Amino acid sequence: MTPTDTLPIAVLHGDGIGPEVVPVAVAAADKALAAQGIRAVWQDLPYGSAAIDTQGSAIPSSTLAALADYRVMVVGPHDSAAYPQPHRDAPAPGAVLRKHFGLYANLRPARAIPGVEAMAPDIDLLIVRENSEGLYADRNMLVGSGEFMPTPDVALAVGLITRQASERIAERAFAAARARRQQLTIVHKANVLRLSTGLFRDVCLEVGRRFPEVTVQQQHVDAMAALLVRRPADFDVLVTENLFGDILSDLAAELSGSLGLASSINCSDTQVMAQAVHGAAPDIAGAGLADPIAMIGSVASALDWYGTAVAHGGYAAAAQALREGIAATVAAGVRTADLGGTAGTGEFGEYLCALL
């Protein structure tokens, strides 16, 4: 056993369907890793509404302190709209995590699951979204809250783009493209937002010179939205700023099946957080109906990230086994209600774990 054959993983169940889908993802990943000779050590930490009750905060400082020691975290959704005050108006716990740990990259793959109806069955895309800047005030690391109202009738939002943040996201995107189909599309709006998204584009082009094997093209974000619908299979990796990436990744997720299947990771150079794109789904929470696919896929992506970080092929193999297991479970007709099936969350998990 080498040190990289044991992986401590922090688990934050979160709210709504989080405590239903997260344990399924944990159980499946545990089996997939074990099959590669890797022992995962799972540590639950207080988070979300349960943590408000026991620790007085949805994201307790003890949880933040403990997470500093973990390279891999699995994080369920939060339903901050349902929190009692003052917690409801506090920064959302997911945003606190991204900001506190500087998780500057949001990677959102979009790929159809064989047998699941999709508008774009041949889409196979990775959206690399800058996660720390742009117009998103809550995670803006330099200007704090980037929104303000100089008068009650005027609101301003500051969009921040820096060379440093553009460079690190571009490096991550080009490295991902090199490992995939060697195609990268820079998405910007430099015909209008000339200085800010223009800087983003220019820095991406500069970084691209260090990756000669990757073919680079660029699109304005509005044209990109149209092209994703028209010919989604023509794109491999997209790199873009925060807001554009948020919108395009929802579009890509719907094209590849549904938002309920969409996985994502947030990462820095040292840590990765698996977090499904969907929210807490309060309308179905507690009923055992939630689809765990997005959460499992997110954990698979986190294992890919970790395997690359420690140069250990077992993690990518476990991730691939999870994705193949999801496809095989769905193909066997074990589907939750969102995919037109009758299986519950637990039943899906049991079938998948038996395959693994």
Instruction: List active site positions.
Output: 136, 189, 222, 246, 250
Q: Does 139 bind ligand ATP (CB under 6 A)?
A: no
Question: Closest-CB residue for ligand ATP?
Answer: 279
* Member of 38, 284, 296, 352 binding ligand ATP (CB under 6 A): 284
146 binds, among ligand ATP, Mg ion, none (CB under 5 to 8 A by kind): none
Nearest CA to 18 out of 352, 267, 275, 263 is that of 275
Rounded to 10 degrees, the C-alpha dihedral 236/242/246/248 comes to -40
Quick one: what does residue 284 bind among Mg ion, ligand ATP, none, with the CB cut-off 5 to 8 Å set by partner type?
ligand ATP
Among Mg ion, ligand ATP, none, partner that 52 touches (CB below 5 to 8 angstroms by kind): none
Q: How far is the CB of 80 from ligand ATP (least distance, A)?
A: 8
Find the binding residues for ligand ATP in span 256-275 (CB under 6 A). 260
Size of the residue set binding ligand ATP (CB under 6 A): 14
> Minimum distance between the CB of residue 78 and Mg ion, rounded to whole angstroms?
11
The least CB distance from residue 248 to Mg ion, in Å, is 14
Q: Is 294 in the site for ligand ATP (CB under 6 A)?
A: yes
**Which CB atom, from 127 or from 207, has the smaller least distance to ligand ATP?**
127
What region, left, alpha or beta, does residue 253 occupy, with left being phi > 0 and alpha being psi -120 to 50 degrees?
Answer: alpha
Q: Which is nearer to ligand ATP, 197 or 264 (CB)?
A: 264
State which of positions 227-286 bind Mg ion (CB under 5 A): 279
Q: Mark 316-355 with x for binding to ligand ATP (rule: CB under 6 A) and - for no binding.
A: ----------------------x-----------------
| Alpha carbons 160 and 148: distance in angstroms, whole number | 14
Q: For ligand ATP, give the closer residue by CB, 134 or 257.
A: 257
Q: Is 146 in the site for ligand ATP (CB under 6 A)?
A: no
Shortest gap between Cβ of 216 and ligand ATP (angstroms)?
A: 32
- Binding-site ranges for ligand ATP (CB under 6 A): 17, 21, 77, 260, 278-281, 283-284, 290-291, 294, 338
- Binding-site ranges for Mg ion (CB under 5 A): 279
